[in-house]
Amino acid sequence: MIRKWAMRAVIAYFLFGTAMYVYLFFIADTAIPQMYKGTSADPATFLNARELMLSEEYSNIRNLLFFLNKPYQWLFYYLILLFGISAAFERWAKKTSKWFSLQTLIYLFWLSLASFIVTFPFAYTSYLFSKTYQISTQVFSSWMRDQLIDFWVGYATMAVVVLVIYMMMRKYKKRWWLAVWVLSIPFSIFMMFIQPVVIDPLYNDFYPLQNKQLETKILSLADEADIPAEHVYEVDMSTKTNALNAYVTGVGSNSRIVLWDTTLERLDDEEVLFIMAHEMGHYVEKHIYKGIAGYILLTFAGLWITAKLMDLWVNKRGKIWKVEGTANISSLPAFLLITSVLLFAASPLTNWVSRYQETRADQYALEMTEDPAAGVRTFQDLTRAGLSQVNPPYLVKIFRYGHPTMLERINMAEEFKQQVSEE
């Protein structure tokens, strides 16, 4: 019976992967609508033939890896339950220590290590393709260092989260999810507060923007937007990637506006100011705080659904998995599987909200800079640097895109330019 369920799960995974391959490479239409042919939104007007070919190839590969990776993780969690491996990890942990907290840490280490090993091929394949298409400039040793940092940062974070969850399960049999939700609120805010000053520097070097003339222009924009900013930070990313990026991170006094050095090297001042105005739009519209509020609401619903499904699933399959009850640490793969599926199912909604906020930030940047031409050039340069599709397939857009498509962003800038000229 166990082998039959395992085989069904593996077959389902391969059928899904085949379907996504056929969709992305043979069915999905990424062509620009006829009405935009020859406009600034048409990639043929700002990419050469080789760049057009590479952007389609790389985007399709990257999208396929995304859709294969998530179900692959689900398959791992399911099989580790089904074959009793999770129960074996728990037995080893109990033999090592009589303390529940230490048992949890030991169990989590073995589960994290198994997950790291099993998912490593996907991570390495993604790295190889990014190197092949010259998106990544990172040498293997540096990339591997980041992977190991990811492992230990993830393990430390998960250790705190999992300990709290299973302690609440043991203390509150039926309402553990509510206690976990209440505790998750200050924890999430705390993590956002320390992210820019504790975690991010583990991966890269951050320092104040070296171009003081440009910093003065950026801070002038910030002053115009009533943003209490004293510094703009740049981060050394050129040793890892050719892609361009800028972002706002953190909350309160630890919030930072960050520019990748690749962005500074490849964009002119007007384009950089447009990007900065976009990031300031997030601050002015309080998107970070709205995002926290939305996350809190989603966590409430997600934990409630997870609790119901875990009780139902463990009660029905626990004997087969050798998992005695929901509060046993060996049930963790079930928790991770359910929450991962729920997050994926919710991603069309969360991505839609994110795209709306990004659209608002684009609009703010256009109004603040009054330079739509810089906006168009910025979006075209971002497309070229990341080998992105201007008009991605529908499923890719709703499941992957937290930003509007480049077609939508360039058209918005062009429409704004037309409105300005008419006025």
Nearest to 88 by CA among 116, 65, 107, 74: 107
Q: How many residues does the chain have?
A: 423
Judge contact between 24 and 16, C-beta under 8 A: no
User: What pLDDT does 422 receive?
Assistant: 65
Q: Cα separation of 336 and 110, whole Å?
A: 15
Residues designated catalytic:
279
Q: Output the pLDDT for position 140.
A: 96
Residue 364: what pLDDT? 95
pLDDT on residue 88: 95
Q: What is the CA radius of gyration of the chain?
A: 24
Which pLDDT value is given to residue 407? 97
Q: Which residues of the chain have pLDDT under 70?
A: 229-230, 249-255, 422-423
- Residue 53: per-residue pLDDT: 95
Which of 405, 390, 333, 400 has the alpha carbon at shortest distance from 20? 400
The pTM of this model reads 0.91
List of long-range contacts for 103-106, beta carbons under 8 Å, 24+ apart: 103/329, 104/159, 104/162, 104/163, 104/166, 104/329, 105/159, 105/163
How much helix, strand and coil, in percent to the nearest 5, is found in the chain? 75, 5, 20
**Do 251 and 185 meet the contact criterion of CB atoms below 8 Å apart?**
no
Per-residue model confidence (pLDDT) at position 254: 60
pLDDT at 215: 86
Q: Three-state SS string across 333-351, please?
A: HHHHHHHHHHHHHHHHHHH
